[in-house]
Structure 1
Amino acid sequence: MDQSLFHWAGNLRFLRKRKNLTQQQLSDATGIKKGRLAAQESGKTKNPRMEDQVRISTYFNITIDHLIKTSLSDLTAEQLYEMETTSSLDITGRHIRVLPITVNTDNEENMEFVPVKAQAGYRRGFNDPEFIANLPKFTLPGLPREKTIRMFPVSGDSMLPIPDGSHVIAQYVDDWSLIKQDMPCVVILKEEDDILFKMVDNTMKHDGTLRLHSLNPAFKPFRVNANEVLEIWKFIGYVSREMPAIAS
């Protein structure tokens, strides 16, 4: 059996019986065919479909990582409860936090600029009102005043013709389910200090991930799990001191 899925069969059987469900009842609740569930519980299916993993993870409120790497039957009731209450997969992003904002003297929301020197600290201070209040403010004509807008530095040439050293102006996305295919976004990850500017495909309903890819074909696309994401900001413009590259 694939070692990365070593505990899947036992955990699936354990969780179903813990809820006193028959395979048919679990099939009805998750939309996974009973035959597929039976094959997974018995270990005959070595690599369950990603969509099945997401459905089981969502139904039992336990991350896929725990389902495949942890023997749940070996945990105490308290450990299992803690795992269930902290493992919810949120594909909207609405339950992660309340976005701290600042307002001007006219009670209008400020537009904050994240300079390069503050970039490394943004992941740690993103939900700190004091950190956000100390960011520089900016304004440009034509930007919607009723939206939450920030400007982020981007580096590298993965998004050419937007040049290295540009500053991307982006609008906060409070519902990730609204992200469509090939939407340019600034993505803030939990475990990375870099601020990523990529084209985003929303595949969270299918497998719990976002597919990130570049405009520059020299860079390969990659996926990130939804639970690795702190914030998503939709591109609305950029500022640069360089002329865009002209196609030959």
Structure 2
Amino acid sequence: MSLFSDNIKYLRVNKSFTQQGVADDLMITRARLLKYEDGTSQPPIELLKKISNYYHVSIDIMISVDLRKISIDDLLLLDDNRILLPITVDRQGENFIEIIPHKAKAGYTAGYADPEFIENLQQISLPFLRNGKFRAFPVEGDSMPPHKEGSFIVGRYVEKLEDVMDGKTYILLTKNDGIVYKRLNKNGKNLTLQSDNKVYKPYEVKASEILEIWEYACSIATKEFLPDDLGIENVKDMFRELRNDIATLKH
């Protein structure tokens, strides 16, 4: 847990706290805190939770991310001390898009904050995508037609939850579901995730469960769209939307 010891020392110094002051707040001795900061000892889980709450940084971030390399002020604080890590866009103008292949999809949940994992991903460049950080995610299932399984959704990184717009589609990385692509609507501190395929029922995700949010920017199809793909449910949806549009025009 060397990162943990470096992080708690950095957080204390960054806030201009003294060792004795932090130790008093945590109700431990200064000597005990010193051992945690120099890495010679590790705190028990209950104290680890207490330190996490004290600095408002989640445990998994505290033990897996070098906080000295990112701006604490740029972190987005969510419920339960969850934070979204900022992603820095290349200042040289090169906008490389990392591709998350199907075989790496499961590993992305654990490796999204690991620079080495991200660096080893294949990259492409799309000149029409500018002003943001982009990443390509694989599509699975048939919940978001016309995007077929095997296609890729290219998303623009979203740093603030308030930038999420109701009714638009986003790729979410969540603690429980991994990577999902859905249409979002805000519901207090929760987000309602809805599939365009009405066979699948909408469900809610707490803001505290979100690790990353990527707004739809474009898609890359790897299979040809066929006329047969326009199933009966899609036809019904088209007529339903047309009826709603007509009703809106009348008003």
Match of 1:233 in 2: 214
Shift of 1:142: 1.6
1:1-248 to 2 correspondences below 5 Å: 81-82=50-51, 84-85=53-54, 86=56, 90=78, 95-99=83-87, 103=90, 106=92, 108-144=94-130, 146-193=131-178, 195-203=179-187, 206=188, 208-240=189-221, 241-243=223-225, 245-246=229-230
CA shift in 2, pair 1:169/1:78, >3 Å:
closer
CA shift in 2, pair 1:157/1:79, >3 Å:
closer
Which segments of structure 1 move beyond 6 Å, counting only runs of 4 or more? 77-80
Shift of 1:107: 5.3
* Cα displacement string for residues 198-226 of structure 1 (whole angstroms, at most 9, x for unaligned residues): 001122xx2x2111010000000000111
Question: Is the Cα–Cα contact under 8 Å of residues 209 and 224 in structure 1 kept in the other structure?
Answer: yes
Q: Comparing both structures, which one devotes a greater share of its residues to helix?
A: 2
RMSD of Structure 2 on Structure 1 (CA): 2.9
* Cα displacement string for residues 55-102 of structure 1 (whole angstroms, at most 9, x for unaligned residues): xxxxxxxxxxxxxxxxxxxxxx979955743589627x994323366x
Q: Which runs of 5+ in 2 are unaligned?
A: 1-45, 59-76, 236-251
CA shift in 2, pair 1:136/1:122, >3 Å:
same
* Identity fraction in percent: 32
CA shift in 2, pair 1:100/1:125, >3 Å:
farther
Partners of 1:167 and 1:209 lie apart in 2 by 26
How many pairs does the alignment contain? Answer: 164
TM norm structure 1: 0.58
* Cα displacement string for residues 156-189 of structure 1 (whole angstroms, at most 9, x for unaligned residues): 0001122222100110001111112111000001
